[in-house]
Amino acid sequence: MEQFLQVTFSGLATGAVFAIAAVGFALLWQTAGAINFAHGEFIVLPAVVMLVLTQQPVIGIPEFIPLIGGTQLVGPIPQLGIIAAFAITVPLMIFLLGYVFKRTMVDQLLEPGGDDIPLVIATLGLALVMREYLRITFGAAPQRFPSPFGNHVWNVGGVAITAIDVGILVVATVVIIGLQFFLNRTYTGRQMQATAQNQETARVLGIPVNRMVFYTFAINAALVTVAALLVAPVTTARFDGGISLGLAAFTAAIIGGFNQVRGALFGGFLVGVIQNWSGTYLSSAYREFIPLVLMIIVILWRPQGLFGRPEERVV
Amino acid sequence: MTEKRGNRLLALLAVLTLLIAACGGTGGEEGTTTSVAEEATTTAGEEAETTTSAAGASTTAAAGAECPHENNSVFLFAPYEENQPAGVNWRAGIEHAVADINNEGGILGCTVEVQFEGTQGDPDIGRQVVAEGVELDPYAILGTVFSSVTIVNMVEAQNAEIPQFVGAEAPDITNREVNGDNNFIFRTSFGGDNAAPKLVEFMLEEGVQKVDTIYKNDEFGAGGAGAHRDAMEAAGIEIGEEILVQPDQLDQSGEVAQLIASDSDSVFVYMTEIETGAFLDERTAQGLEKPLYGGDVLTSPASLELAQPGAGDGAKSHSNLAAGADVFADWRTAHEEFHPGIEGVDHNNIKGYMSVHYVKEMTERLGGFDRLALADQLHCATITVDDEPGVLLDVTFDGNGDLDRESFILEVVDGVGVVAASAPPLDNLSERGC
């Protein structure tokens, strides 16, 4: 029983990361009708940026990192450095992975009601470019990423619970609840949802559609930075880390429901737990196989995903 | 007309997802990138030029001691796993050795030139890289390090009759019944089958009676763990759980939970650096207190640096080449001076360094650049530090390309692998083709 609880809890923690990543997929699909196959690399990039910020002085401001606290330089709060790096990285990523990505790629390739495939193919290419760029600039060797939650371990009823696991679960939960609240309970969030449902009608109602779409990309950029902060202490910072993460998140989003944030959430947790159960009770050779089989079954049985709603378009 | 366009798109994307997964294959996810690393010392155009001139030069070199490549040089090709600590360290060792040798006048007066190409740790890409490297007509090939990559690409060097020095440790690589009687493959560290008896003897001294094994599901892990299992069983150690870990698998909570639940008294760990680092973290988190035993990687700095501080403490390994051993102290100082700021120096740096010196020493013994003679003469040859200081340890190659020499038992103390004992050479070359 202890083994089952241990495996399940660890799977939930892993699944929380998949969930945050999968929400990014769902958010972009819902609001902009875009699918980003570079999503895994979008998570790796902020992880690398944060790591570099904690390791090196910022160009031209050598005292900057000691001032904000490199991980090894601040005594009482060793996590301050990485948290400060996170604070710097969020706006940077909102600009780069939100604004620049939207303007230079999405706006050019995705027309309302048009074909999605060019953007899908372009993001596959973008993933390759980002991966090779990171390999050349950051290096190929994986590097340990400092945990923002420390390394404490609690033993609860024979189940080892690490601070990283708890941190991932808590932060992921807070972020997701906050996102749901924002989308459902705020004026801007409802405008974003209206934009997602029908851009033309939203425009007629006076909703600034372009701004709402940008907000979506900005939120997605912030989400991938949060995901990077949570996942990198476990996966290490490495240039090719986005492949498996992006695949797991995409699988999760498909299983849970691509057009529902709560579906992507559920899918994330489900994939994390199933991976661990498969590895433990069958063989680790089935860790990624079983979720993919589940994905195929879901597509055949319920194409909109377990929590998704059927979509139809008039052409 | 209405159509379920969204669902069709999702179905298409699902197929794409499966394709991506398939590209990862058993070699892990790192192999899905299709491009090949170009951190080469020459441009593509220069490569073609080198190939053309070298083809004629090699023939000339076989007849005398002229340099086999243009500009009084000898050209070596080095495929390596640029996305793995093992490959990065292997390359660092080669770079250091080449600089040292060139500073002392090269090999038989010829400047050593080396071209590095990344394999991304992927067997298919690795074979493609070596196949292209063979076309450059190198005097020798230095790499690869990963067994799963090496076992696929070594046939290219064999067919081209080019000596290939590898850091890989899977037993099958130098098994002539498996490798097609490959006369051109040479190791820079023991195969798992020749390392296993030394570790098993140490485990017996420690009183190990029943051991679980956790290993990486690839050529290195399965081959190495299998060789160690055989040696343990032959020595009377009972084998308990046998647990696979996938390449790059970072969540090993289930696997560690299984090890805790087992009634074995110790654990044998055989994975590469990334999986080992993750295992050590999870073992610490869940409180797995059974003694850990393994090969070089378990106690290597590259593995320990990927784990939380102290996570590897207490682990013990049989190490082919312990970078922290006194015998390597001077070399290590020089290596760190050559690569300022380098971290995680381990056995792979030493292996890369030694590989170039093996080529140098045997070529100088032959008095000329003859690849066939090099491969032939190296079997069952002994090279001492007095002959060539760059080999760092006296070594004898067996009749299959594996080697025999002193090695080390390490224990991790305060995050560092320290030498606990030395293990003498097996001294059984008469049973190994000599």
Q: Do A250 and B13 touch (CB under 8 A)?
A: yes
Do residues B157 and B205 both lie within one domain?
A: no
Residue B26 belongs to some domain of the structure = no
Asked whether residue B185 falls in the same domain as residue B197, the answer is: no
Residue B427 or B94, more confident: B94
State the helix-helix crossing angle for A209-235 and A163-185, rounded to 10 degrees.
170
Q: In whole angstroms, give the CA distance from residue B360 to residue B389.
A: 11
Structural domain includes residue B6: no
Minimal-distance CA residue of chain B relative to A285: B246
The 10s digit of each residue's pLDDT in A130-159 is 988 888 888 777 888 888 887 788 888 878
Residue % of chain A over a pLDDT of 70 = 90
Average pLDDT in chain B: 84
Q: CB distance A240–B30 less than 8 Å? A: yes
- Please report whether residue B19 resides in a domain: no
Whole-angstrom distance, CA of residue A274 vs CA of residue A294? 10
Question: Looking at the DSSP assignment, which residues form a beta bridge with residue B422?
Answer: B408
User: Domain containing B353: what range?
Assistant: 44-190+327-401
Looking at the whole model, is its pTM more than 0.80?
Answer: no
* Neighbour count for residue B129 (Cβ, 10 Å): 25
- CA-atom Rg of chain A in angstroms: 20
Of A284, A310, A311, the CB nearest to B244: A284
User: Quick one: DSSP state of residue A284?
Assistant: G
Spatial neighbors of B429 by CB under 8 A, at least 6 apart, are B380, B396, B398, B399, B404
- Give domain status of residue B14, yes or no: no
Are residues B292 and B200 part of one domain? yes
Question: Would residue B245 count as lying in a domain?
Answer: yes
**How close does chain B come to A196, measured CA to CA in Å?**
14
Q: List the domain boundaries for chain A.
A: 2-301
Which residue of chain A is at minimal alpha-carbon distance from B278?
Answer: A234
Highest mean pLDDT among A17-26, A106-115, B256-265, B301-310: B256-265
Local structure of B142: helix, strand or coil: strand
Is the Cβ pair B29, A243 closer than 8 Å?
A: yes
Q: Which two tokens stand for residue A168?
A: 């991932």
The listed range with the strongest mean pLDDT (A122-136, A251-265, B361-375) is B361-375
pLDDT in the model for residue A315: 55
Query: Does residue B22 lie within any of the structural domains?
Result: no
Domain for residue B385, yes or no? yes
Identity of the residue in A9, A116, A299 whose CB atom sits nearest the CB atom of B14: A299
Q: For A2-301, CATH number?
A: 1.10.3470
Domain co-membership, B368 together with B297: no
Give domain status of residue B10, yes or no: no
Q: pLDDT tens across B171-183, in order? A: 899 999 999 999 9
A167-185 pLDDT, tens digit each: 888 988 898 889 888 988 9
Contact B240, B270 (CB under 8 A): no
SS3 B345: coil
In whole angstroms, give the CA distance from residue B312 to residue B138: 40
CB contact under 8 A, B32 and A243: yes
- Are residue B289 and residue B157 in the same domain, yes or no? no
Cis bond leading into B60, ω under 30°? no
Domain CATH code at residue B345: 3.40.50.2300
A142 reaches B (C-beta below 8 A)? yes
Q: pLDDT value at position B384?
A: 96
Query: Per the CB < 8 Å rule, is B13 touching A313?
Result: no
CB-nearest to A299 from B11, B251, B254 is: B11
Write the burial class of residue B415 (CB in 10 Å: 0-12 exposed, 13-18 middle, 19+ buried).
middle
Chain A residue numbers touching B6 (CB-CB < 8 A): 258-259, 304, 311-313
Minimal Cβ distance to B33: which of A9, A37, A131 = A131
Tell if the CB–CB gap between B33 and A240 is shorter than 8 Å: yes
The mean pLDDT of B280-300, rounded to a whole number, is: 91
pLDDT given at position A64: 46
User: B171 and B289: one domain?
Assistant: no
Given pLDDT bands bounded at 50, 70 and 90, which one contains residue B224? confident
Which of A114-137 are b and which e, b meaning 16 or more Cβ less than 10 Å from the residue's Cβ? Answer: eebeebbebbeebbbebbbebbee
pLDDT for position A52: 86
Residues B419 and B294 in one domain: yes
Instruction: Report pLDDT for A233.
Output: 86
Tell me the β-bridge partners of B187: B166
Q: How many domains does chain B have?
A: 2
Contact B33 A3 (CB under 8 A): no
The beta-carbon contacts of B335-340 under 8 Å, at least 24 apart in sequence, are B335/B92, B335/B93, B335/B96, B338/B95, B338/B96, B338/B99, B339/B92, B339/B95, B339/B96
Given a cut of 80, whether residue B389 has pLDDT beyond it is yes
Contacts of B48 (CB under 8 A, 6+ apart): none
